[in-house]
Structure formats: C-alpha cells, structure tokens
Amino acid sequence: MNKVKVAIIGSGNIGTDLMIKILRLSDSLEMAVLVGIDPDSDGLARAKRMGVEICHTGVNGLVDMPVWDEIKIIFDATSAKAHHANWEVIKSYPDKRVIDLTPAAIGPYLVPPVNFQALTDSRNVNMVTCGGQATIPMVAAVNRIAKVHYGEIVASIASKSAGPGTRANIDEFTETTAAAIQSVGGADRGKAIIVLNPAEPPLVMRDTVFTLSEDADREEIRQSIHDMVAEVQKYVPGYALHQEVQFDDIPASDPVYIEGLGHRSGLKTSVYLKVTGAGHYLPDYAGNLDIMTSAARATAERLLQITHR
C-alpha cells in the first residue's frame, strides 16, 4: 500500500506527539504538514528539524499550500472552539476526512474497539477525550454482558501533561465524555470527572470506571473486560488493569439514587486502569496524551485498510 499524505492541525503536545508516532510507527500514513498558529512553537520547530513541512497560518494557510490536494486525512489537535472554525473550511472539500482530537463532537464519537465499523463512512469522526478513550471500552465491555444503567469515570492525569489546549477544554471534557459513555458505551446515564494531579514526580494516567448494571455472571463480565483490554493494547501497549476487577451487589432493599434514573439496584463493577505513555514526545507519565494520539492513528490506519480493500 502506498502511504497516504496526512496533515495535523495543532502544534501543541497532542499534535506533536501524533506527528512523531506517524513518522516512527506508521506504514500507511505519511506526514505532509504540521499546522500551527504560533511560528515560535516547539512543535513547529521540532517538525522542521524532522523534515516535515510546516505552516503557521492555520487551516487557511494549509488550504493554500501546494500539497493540500494530495492530503486525504486531517487530524485536528487544536481546541473544541477552533475545530468548529477548521471544519467550516475543510468540509467543502469532499475528498478530505477529519479525525477530531478535540471535544468539539461535530462528528460522531469513535472509540476504535467499540464502534469503528459503524462509522467508516463518516467524514468527520470525534475521538471523544483521553478519558473517554481509556474508559468507554470498559463500560462497553460490561454492557455487552449486562445492561449498564449508569457509568461513572474518573480520569486522573499528571498536571504537566495537560497543555493549554487540554486546560481550555475542561468543561467540554466532562460533557463530551459523559455523552459518549451513553452513546458509545451503552449506559443509560454517564458522568465524567477529570483530575489534574500536581504530584511530583508526575504520576501516570489513572482511570477508575464504575458501572451499575443488571445482575449477570461475574466471570463473563470479568472475561469481557480482559478481552477489551487486550483489544486496546493492540494500539496502546501501555494500557493495563491496575488491579483486578471488583464486584459489589447493590440490593433492591438498599438501592442507590441516580439523577435522571431514580433508585436502582443491581451489580456494581469497578475497573481500575493505568495508562503508561510510550514517551514519544512527553515522558511516560503522559498516558493521556498517548492513548489519544494512538487511537487517532489507529483510526486513520484502519480507514485506509478499508479504503484499499
């Protein structure tokens, strides 16, 4: 397969890490341009040193470049607000596909091991959030065995791994992740919390997933979770269970109250994850960066596999 040219809009932590992953790891994607708006950014300087063409005038500058006609996939690693403006420009070019790494959620949410096959025709897909990519597979793993009434996730990331774009998107993070817990994970209700951990030395990404579901065979749920972890590890090697899955009965005689659902009983499943980064751009504590960029790269490569069949 000939490599397909791609561009990345956003020269911050996420865009730079994704660029390095494509350059080092991809057999089907070719880095054409890294786009930013700050000509002095570290990401653009690094791209230039690595032989990648750069543009510091945003999406409009990208469209004016001679290589634009050859680019088939654009990754947007800017911010939710910026993605709306970027998509307004790109959507008029029907041969371009966009993989959105911001919480803008213009396109449908995509979590590769859960719903990739359903979205292969979408021109703009949204990678939810780092917390969503880490935790929604676990909600879906429970839901394919027992109907999930409620899914709650807590994503704890090192403060040093959260750049300006991440910090600007905190509100969108919680809203987008909660919505995707429902629409992709299958829960009736979802809730998401993010913690920027200032600890020194920085700690790797930790994610806690709680689900309340109908009662079901615990070993089937446990196996479903382990199988899903193995699927995620195919593109994020540092993804792992931090400890074994835990179960608790919530009896009908002592139900919990869930806003929007009322009192519910059933089986509570607790999943504890850690995500260690590959260290391509930031140190290995930045698992939140790694899972987002790895999921985006995997999505692009799988789209090309389907296109070239």
Distances (CA, A) of 259 to 44, 149, 214, 221, 255: 46, 11, 18, 25, 13
- Active-site residue flag, 55: no
As a whole number of angstroms, the distance between CA 46 and CA 52 comes to 9
Distances (CA, A) of 210 to 43, 149, 156, 232, 300: 37, 11, 14, 19, 30
Tokens of 244: 């074994």
Enter the DSSP assignment of 254.
S
Q: Which of 62, 110, 130, 209 is catalytic?
A: 130
As a whole number of angstroms, the distance between CA 95 and CA 89 comes to 13
Secondary structure of residue 198 in the 3-state scheme: coil
Cis peptide before 103 (omega within 30 of 0): no
Tokens of 161: 């791994």
Q: What's the burial of 32, exposed, middle or buried (CB within 10 Å: 0-12/13-18/19+)?
A: buried
Distances (CA, A) of 186 to 107, 128, 249: 18, 15, 20
Secondary structure of residue 270 in the 3-state scheme: strand
In order, the DSSP letters of 5-19 are: EEEEE--SHHHHHHH
| Beta strands 239-241; 246-250: pairing state | unpaired
Distances (CA, A) of 233 to 25, 45, 134, 243, 285: 15, 31, 11, 16, 17
Please give the positions annotated as active site.
130
